[in-house]
């Protein structure tokens, strides 16, 4: 396991430690394209995006940002911006087309070439094994609600680790398992589009189990100095008031959003209140003897994805079905502040709250902000420039929040902007642009936005400009 030491930050100058990691993040299905090339088979997102009414405008990831064919150009962009790290995900159906058995060497060759290109440019690869693209054949066999899927993930992890374990220094098992479990199997707004609350809870457990099994595989196969991590989209949950019913509503949401992953991974247990809240749905018999010992294998860091806070009050207004057992007991209220093109409130204090909460709850676990960013209605002007002052304001506020948390003892080691490129934004298709680099999808031309140039300046100085 990697040995870690606390870092400090300069409060007055808003500078970050010289070794602070400055990166950007992407996901395979959102940028790669080449959906039918070199043996790749369909993932659940290929199937879901072809289901009428599931993705805006009927968009698919068949071409996306065509990163599969333009990877050297994209790495050159990263190098030009001065990034120290690049967080990307591996496409499971590109590497292991059926979700079982041997690897596709052509699939692995793409990631070998990507890692080599990154290293040649002095950029550290940060590899995520699972960013929601389950091979469709595994979903046909039951998907994440089935225990066997966790063991299939361990087999897939071994294939990638054997190919890249000597060159990748940071490995993340899962990205946002909450979305995979609850948006995919309870609310049905993400692939595979199922609406089965009990299955979502089983999926959450088997994703946790997959993480633990993956950690064991990585410890065995990658270089001893490698960092092994997990990325969660934890919610900054705020009760509307200090009243007991609002506080209890927030507790329910916190259990489903945060502690269903934090507690088993870091404490080897599921929250008793979560079990009680969901008793009408399941007796949790899918948790077998020995599972929690596997799930709670030590990790070297925790990745945090943050975009907007969650304000909760008691009430009977129906919640989205992604929140089993909170129905008719809680409701969400909009936070104050300006809003992004996703209609998400901009509130950097939520990121500060999460980082300081984790400082207190997990004092020995270094943190990485592995996703943070905003979608705006960006466009190229007649001169080809893309001006996005709202995104710069968003990023500045959130980096100030990171800096403030670090000054108060949060051990944050790096920041990854979401996203490097405009891309396929899941159920929103191509209607939302999160990238700091604009992509003209017709020509695939890349144009760094003003935010990319601003971020490059932040990276170069390892700190925030005063204005």
Q: List active site positions.
A: 176, 371
Angle between helices 450-461 and 67-81 (to 10 degrees): 50
DSSP code string of 68-131:
HHHHHHHHHHHHHHT-SEEEEE--HHHHSTTSSSS--HHHHHHHHHHHHHHHHTT-EEEEEEES
Dmax over CA atoms of the chain, in Å, equals 63
CB-based contact 423:438 (threshold 8 Å): no
CA distances from 8 to 5, 17, 144, 176, 318 (A): 10, 7, 40, 28, 45
DSSP, collapsed to helix, strand or coil, labels residue 172 as strand
Sheet-wide strand order for 310-313? 237-239, 310-313, 331-333
CA distances from 370 to 120, 143, 362 (A): 23, 26, 17
CB-based contact 306:236 (threshold 8 Å): yes
CB-based contact 414:431 (threshold 8 Å): no
Q: Residue 16 and residue 461: Cα distance in Å, rounded?
A: 9
Q: Residue 314 and residue 326: Cα distance in Å, rounded?
A: 10
CB-based contact 450:10 (threshold 8 Å): no
* Strand partners of residue 10: 15
Cβ neighbours of residue 53 closer than 8 Å, sequence gap 6 or more: none
Q: N- to C-terminal Cα distance for the chain?
A: 40
Alpha helices in 233-284 (DSSP H): 244-254, 260-267, 272-277
* Strand partners of residue 88: 127
């Amino acid at each position: 396991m990697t040995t870690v030491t606390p870092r400090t930050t300069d409060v007055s100058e808003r500078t970050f430690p010289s070794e602070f990691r400055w990166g950007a993040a992407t996901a395979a299905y959102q940028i790669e394209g080449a959906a039918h090339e070199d043996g790749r088979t369909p993932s659940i997102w290929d199937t879901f995006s072809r289901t009428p009414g599931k993705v805006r405008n009927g968009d698919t990831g068949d071409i996306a940002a065509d990163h599969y064919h333009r990877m050297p150009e994209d790495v050159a962009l990263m190098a030009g911006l001065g990034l120290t790290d690049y967080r990307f995900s591996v496409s499971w159906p590109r590497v292991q087309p059926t979700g079982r058995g041997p690897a596709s060497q052509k699939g692995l060759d793409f990631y070998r070439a990507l890692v080599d290109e990154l290293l040649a440019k002095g950029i550290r690869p940060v590899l995520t094994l699972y960013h929601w693209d389950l091979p469709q054949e595994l979903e046909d066999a039951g998907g994440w609600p089935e225990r066997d899927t966790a063991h299939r993930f361990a087999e897939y992890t071994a294939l990638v680790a054997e190919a890249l374990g000597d060159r990748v220094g940071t490995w993340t098992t899962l990205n946002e398992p909450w979305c995979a479990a609850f948006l995919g199997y309870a609310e049905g707004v993400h692939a595979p589009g199922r609406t089965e609350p009990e299955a979502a809870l089983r999926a959450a457990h088997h994703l946790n189990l997959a993480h633990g099994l993956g950690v064991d595989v990585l410890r065995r196969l990658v270089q001893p100095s490698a960092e092994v991590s997990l990325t969660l989209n934890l919610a900054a949950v705020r009760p509307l008031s200090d009243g007991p019913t609002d506080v209890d509503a927030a507790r329910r949401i916190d259990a489903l959003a945060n502690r269903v992953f934090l507690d088993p991974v870091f404490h080897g247990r599921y929250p008793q209140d979560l079990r009680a809240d969901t008793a009408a749905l399941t007796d949790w018999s899918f948790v077998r003897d020995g599972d929690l010992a596997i799930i709670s294998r030590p990790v070297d860091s925790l990745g945090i994805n943050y975009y907007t806070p969650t304000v909760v009050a008691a009430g009977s207004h129906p919640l989205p079905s992604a929140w089993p057992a909170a129905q008719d007991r809680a409701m969400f209220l909009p936070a104050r502040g300006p809003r992004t093109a996703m209609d998400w409130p901009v509130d950097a204090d939520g990121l500060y709250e999460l980082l300081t909460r984790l400082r207190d709850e997990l004092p020995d676990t270094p943190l990485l902000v592995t996703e943070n960013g905003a979608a705006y209605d960006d466009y190229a002007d007649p001169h080809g420039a893309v001006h996005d002052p709202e995104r710069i304001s968003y990023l500045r506020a959130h980096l100030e929040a990171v800096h403030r948390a670090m000054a108060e003892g949060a051990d944050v080691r790096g920041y990854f902007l979401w996203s490097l490129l405009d891309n396929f934004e899941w159920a929103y298709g191509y209607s939302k642009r999160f990238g700091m680099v604009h992509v003209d999808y017709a020509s695939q031309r890349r144009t760094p936005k003003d935010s990319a140039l601003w971020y490059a300046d932040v990276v170069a100085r390892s700190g925030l400009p005063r204005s």
